[in-house]
Amino acid sequence: MNWQALVPLIGLLLVIFGAGMWAGKYIKSSNTFMQDYFLGGRSLGGFVLAMTMTATYGSASSFIGGPGTAYTQGLGWVLLAMTQVSTGYFVLMVLGKKFAIVTRKYHALTMVDFLKERYRSKWVVLLSAFSIIIFLFSAMAAQWIGGARLIESLVGIPYTTALFIFALFVLIYVTIGGFRAVALTDAIQGTIMFVGTLILLVATIIAGGGISNIITDLTAENPNLITPYGADGSLTPAYVSSFWILVGVGVVALPQIAVRAMSYKDSRSMHRALIIGTIVVGVIMLNMHLIGVFTRPILPGIEVGDKVMPLIALEVLPNWLAGIVLAAPMAAIMSTVDSLLLLVSSAIVKDVYLNYVEPKASHQRVKRLSIGITAVLGIVVFVMALNPPDLIIWLNLFAFGGLEAAFIWPVVMGLYWKKGNKYGALASMVAGIGLYILSDSFFPKPFGLHSVVMPVVIAFVAYVSVSLGTRKKMLVEEA
Amino acid sequence: MEELNAHDNDSRYKVANREALVGIGLVIFNFVWWFAFAYGLGGKDPSEYTYVFGLPAWFFYSCVLGFIIMAVLVTVVVKKWFAEVSFEKEGEER
């Protein structure tokens, strides 16, 4: 066991834990439990907002590859990863003020609440809540496995023990603290990711004998590593460009991101978050993936991509510093898990239970139920992660693209296009999810594009044509 | 037909709509810059590459400089043109 690396890591986890507990105090004394638990009382300031968004999609990126793939593919993968810089400003500008104002008018606390008020359709609500529950639940299981693997390889304890420690830890601070705890710990985690990748990049460059030296080594090994086309030339411009849809602009429709666009305190916080967010996302993405590429000449022959970050950190940094820096990937995983956990529980309690099962549930009951469901969900995910069923892994592959294909037009057009209606939204969601699963299973790269592109285009056509085609029907219904 | 309140005549929506368009404009600019340098300069044979700070020029201009320019642009746009509006009820017109 590597104590010198372990002590700083544990210390850091304790700080995060403390922050969660502190946030929990707000919940206890709260009169507006739902708003506080699921939305942090709409009181996020600029810095916390920027960091919580970054930490949340900072891990969406590890989903598409991260440093391990950059290690294999070279600079072409860094180019692909940089499509994510746009998420730093795009989400907040596009959902931006309109989403903040409208969701306040609707008293919406979740993305589904917004869809419910906007379309007034039971089916839209149920379909969205179930997509969120199924897709995010699977995405969460995969992240837990990742978190446990990281502890396992770092500390040298068995997988099950590692998973248990990780699960217990995340569960306690999320159940007690709610959204505010998540946002606050995300802020700490985002900061660690930012500083951590910066230190590690510099140390890696020094260890490799300077950038020129590293690039020369890479060229000598395989000139393709320094081209935009990837090690084996498989990264075509069309394919790489289509990641603008998946990780650049489509992120607008991810419920865990959208919910943050209704949590800011005022326009000043939003403006600050825009600037801080853009810088932080860009720096983390650039550093993390460059570290992956630059590790190649220093530590050749790493076969498991997930190990690139831990190995290079232990190689180029003193042990205690490696411990602190390695908290960064750990932080990325935790911050995804905690926000997904909260979202799935809000979909169950708020979107399904309160809407359709027991609309008149008492304040006390809702509070107990929210905390209870969050805890139960965590335990179920824990059990699943012990020995993950194939279905979960399979669904997880679809999670982000599927949610984007489902929600992008109902949310964006719902906000900005007056004529959009519930039939359009339903058609768009069904077409989006259905096509995405079909295309991903049978035609992985239609026209050389990522499989999320076509479903998004067709979901748009479905939204507009069905909305226009059912205008008369809507007028009759509302008259 | 009852107006849905996402589309009533709230004056703040004008500001919001304009800023959303700015976001789309920035993404398009971002994409063009990223694409043009990456494949414009990076499309040749690696032996013909030129280098900036040790990095291949295509990568430096597309990913490093491109990011810095976006960060500066976002800062300027937000500070100069983004309006402060209240998110609470008092801005409502009805």
Write the ipTM: 0.89
Is B6 within 8 Å of A415 when comparing Cβ atoms?
yes
Q: How confident is the model at residue B1 (pLDDT cuts 50, 70, 90)?
A: very low
Looking at residues A15-43, what average pLDDT do you find?
A: 74
List of chain B residues whose C-beta atoms are within 8 Å of the C-beta of residue A235: none
Based on the structure, what is the number of domains in chain A? 1
Of B20, B27, B34, the CB nearest to A98: B20
Average pLDDT over residues B67-83: 95
Interface touch B56/A416, C-beta < 8 Å: no
Q: How close B80 gets to chain A, by Cα (Å)?
A: 11
Q: What's at A434, amino acid-wise?
A: G
Best of B55, B63, B76, B81 to disrupt the A interface (most A CBs within 10 Å) is B63
pLDDT band at B50 (very low <50, low <70, confident <90, very high): very high
Interchain CB distance below 8 Å, A96 and B87:
no
Checking if the pLDDT of A396 tops 70, the result is no
Per the prediction, chain A carries an average pLDDT of 85
For residue A208, give every residue at least 6 positions away whose Cβ sits within 8 Å of its Cβ, in sequence order, or none.
A214, A217, A294, A297, A298
The verdict on residue A431 lying in a domain is no
Distance CA A332, CA B59 (A): 26
| Average pLDDT over every residue of A152-179 | 78
**Contact between B74 and A85 using a beta-carbon 8 Å cutoff:** no
Shortest CB distance from B74 goes to which of A210, A215, A274?
A: A274
Question: Taking 50 as the threshold, does the pLDDT of residue B92 lie above it?
Answer: no
Nearest CA distance, B63 vs chain A (angstrom): 6
The domain spans of chain B are 20-82
CATH number of A386's domain? 1.20.1730.10
In a domain, A87, yes or no: yes
Q: How far apart are CA A51 and CA A476, in angstroms?
A: 47
Provide the pLDDT for residue A391: 67
Q: Do A214 and B54 count as a contact with CB atoms less than 8 A apart?
A: yes
Cα B43 vs. chain centroid, distance in angstroms? 25
- Read off the pTM: 0.87
CB nearest B84 (choices: A219, A267, A478) = A267
Domain with A72, as residue range(s), is: 3-391
Do the domain assignments include residue A167? yes
| Token couple for A167 | 């699960």
pLDDT tens for A225-236 read 999 999 998 899
CA distance A389 to A434: 22
A104 vs B66: CB contact, 8 Å cut-off?
no
The amino acid occupying position B82 is F
Contact B55 A268 (CB under 8 A): no
Contact A83 B86 (CB under 8 A): no
What is the spatial distance between Cα A161 and Cα A73, in angstroms, rounded to a whole number? 34
Give the residue from chain B lying closest to A98, CA to CA: B16
